[in-house]
Amino acid sequence: MTQVQALQSALAGEHAALYGVGVAGGKLSGAKFQAASELDERHRRQRDKLTDLLIAAGETPAAAEPAYDLPLAVTTPATATALILLIERRLAAVYADLVENAEQDAVRALAIQNLLAASATQISWGGAPVAFPGAV
């Protein structure tokens, strides 16, 4: 995998995460809705940063799909939370890939920052720590 491929995968992951967090947010209220909104904003910033990096590299950034299949039915606050946890666990793996395949210091630093953010988010959404977040 090249750095560009890993960046495109991360961008595709952020597009999907934005969709999934949006769906989850629709089933949440109060503090959890607020947290989902903040998470949505963070993924939006990460998407924009990845887009900028790809454009700077002369590449065409992957576009978002109109809709995505969800890996679980989101019908309650509990399933909404489960979807967010799943998204953050899988995003951690995508960013660990980017760490491994980064060829530029700035890209590696961004990937590490986002891997740590996805890992911390898992705990704030009730997930348990793991030995190697982002491992495959």
For another protein, the binding residues (CB under 8 A) are 1, 6, 8-17, 19-20, 22-23, 25-27, 40, 62, 65-71, 73-75, 86-87, 89-94, 96-97, 99-103, 105, 108-109, 111-113, 115-116, 118-120, 122-124, 128-136
Q: In this complex, which beta carbon is closest to another protein, that of residue 56 or of residue 132? A: 132
Q: How far is the CB of 88 from another protein (least distance, A)?
A: 10
Dihedral angle over CA of 55, 105, 42, 23, nearest 10 = 70
User: Would you state the torsion angle of the CA atoms of residues 34, 82, 64, 135, taken in this order, to the nearest 10 degrees?
Assistant: 120
- Min CB(58)–another protein separation in Å: 19
Minimum Å gap between C-beta 77 and another protein is 14
Quote the CA–CA distance of 92 and 58 in Å, as a whole number. 26
Measured between alpha carbons, how far is 7 from 22 in angstroms, rounded to an integer?
A: 22
